[in-house]
Structures are given as structure tokens and as C-alpha cells.
Amino acid sequence: METVALAPKLPETLDGIQEGEVLRIPASWDEYLDLLETTPYTIQFLGEEIIIMGQATDIHEQLVIRLGKLFALYFDELDGDYRVLGSNVKLVTPGQVGDFNADLSVVRGPSEYGPTKTGRNSTARITNPYIVVEVLSKSTRNFDLGGKLLAYAEIPSLQHVLLVDQHTVEVHISSRTDQPNQWLTTRYNALSDVVAIDGFNLKLDAVYRKILG
């Protein structure tokens, strides 16, 4: 008798998952895409696993809004075509390795869209981010600094990944160099520090104002 593989079983709600907790469930790319259409909360994909994260914290959301404001104020004044996007769009990596909801992203130039399982391109799936921003928690830190960062590096258009800690004043910026497959990572941990991102000077005292420090 032929064995029929069972589809991955996902939690019905996020109620049983702690704030910031990361839950991993083995699944194929096609299984993930099937569940993406029916799951009532956000799921992500990395390396043959569905990734489920618990609800964001108060501080996490304060930082996301603050960063979105600072990025939008800067990029809206530039002459080029830049758009700052929130977390509801998917960032699609090549080769079906990863499918993520970044906390914040910036697209430079016209958006390029990724396909759904039916082959139709979706305006909710972006393949060409220029900058990605993630706010770290204690439980997501290893995930964001590890496999997720490596998967982001496979996106040809991506030039910078900004990682912002929500528990302490600490920011990592990884920037693509002009050498193939080489990235430069710099760590900042003082409110007086300024993170340079292609002409954008992001002041950490502005990021963490009334939040930390």
C-alpha cells in the first residue's frame, strides 16, 4: 500500500506561543505555499521549515514604527524611486530557500514581484529589496543573525541588512561590498553612535528615544 504523506499540522492560533518565541515545523516549499493561503496568522519559510513567531512586544512595535518614520522621512526626500514597506509584504529569496516578512524594507526602483504556487506574480511578494530591517528579540536573535541573514544575502538586489535589538542599545549593519559574496558587518552600542547607510545617517538616540537609554 502506498504511504500518503500528511501535511504539516500548524497551531490554530498563536495563543500557545510565547512573545517572540520561534516555532519551526518541517515542510516542503509547496506545503508552505498551500498553508500560506489558509493560515490565519503570518508564517515564514527557511530551509525546509515553516517558521512561526509569537506576538510582537510593545517595545518591538515602538521600534518598528520609529524606524519606519525615520526611514520614510529620509527616503521620501531623495530624487530616486525609493519606497519604505511594512511587514505585510513577503521578501522572496532565490531558489525557494526563504520567504520572509521583514519588519521593514526599502525598495529602490520598480518593484519586482514573486510568483504564487499557481505561477501568478503577486504584488504582496517582493524579490528586489534594497534594505531590510529586523528588530531582534531574545528568542529570535539567533534566527535573525543566523540562517535568515544568510538567506537574505542570496537576494542580488539587497545591499544592507539592519538588525536592531529591542532589549538593549545594540545595532548591527551588514552591507554588501564590491567583492563577490563579501559582506561587512559593523556593531553599534552607544546612543551617540550614528549608523551610515548609503548617505542615510541613522542616529541611535533618535531610534531609541523614550524607548531605551
Domain positions in the chain: 22-53, 58-207
What integer pLDDT is reported at residue 53 of this predicted model? 87
Contacts of 68 (CB under 8 A, 6+ apart): 84, 86, 104
What integer pLDDT is reported at residue 64 of this predicted model? 96
Judged against a pLDDT cut of 50, whether residue 4 lies above it is answered with: no
Tell me the whole-structure pTM to 2 decimals: 0.91
Give me the half-sphere count of Cα atoms (radius 13 Å) on the Cβ side of residue 149: 23
The grid coordinates listed for 32 are 508552505
Mean pLDDT of the chain: 90
Report pLDDT digits (tens) over 112-169.
999 888 888 999 999 999 999 999 987 778 777 788 899 999 999 999 999 999 999 9
What integer pLDDT is reported at residue 200 of this predicted model? 94
Task: Tell me what the mean pLDDT of segment 10-33 comes to.
Answer: 86
CA distances from 49 to 14, 31, 149 (A): 17, 10, 16
Nearest-CA neighbor of 157 among 108, 115, 102?
108
Report pLDDT digits (tens) over 185-209.
999 999 999 999 989 999 999 999 9
58-207 under CATH 3.90.1210.10, yes or no: no
CB atoms within 10 A of CB 211: 13
CA distances from 30 to 24, 93, 102, 115 (A): 16, 15, 21, 12
